[in-house]
Amino acid sequence: MASLDDLKKRIASVKSTQKITKAMKMVAAAKLRRAQESAEKGKGPYSEKMNNVILNLSNGISDKENAPKLLSGTGQEKTHLCVVMTSDRGLCGGFNSNIIKKAKSFFLKILDEGKGT
């Protein structure tokens, strides 16, 4: 059985570890908050630009007679235009590959349903 001194040292060691862990948790929380704020600031201009691109595409097909055939299609159900947009930034993790995987699965779904050529 452990002596009283050993138990006191063990308790002190655990308390010290708890303090270090608490400090590390606070630092991590501050870093996370800063990263979230930075992401929110960057989201505004990006989403505005994406909205403009999509709005321009949709405006391009509002007048079917004058719209480019690429955007307006031929009127047949088997004709689809899919616009896939990815990031041009590095260090974005699996963001681009996830978008490409989703696009491929969507294309395969269209082909399986017989709607694609």
Give residues with Cβ within 8 angstroms of 20, minimum separation 6.
none
Q: Which of 57, 92, 100, 111 is catalytic?
A: 92
Concerning whether 82 is annotated as a catalytic residue, the answer is: no
Q: Is there a contact between 72 and 63 (Cβ–Cβ < 8 Å)?
A: no
Q: Is there a contact between 80 and 109 (Cβ–Cβ < 8 Å)?
A: no
Catalytic residues: 92
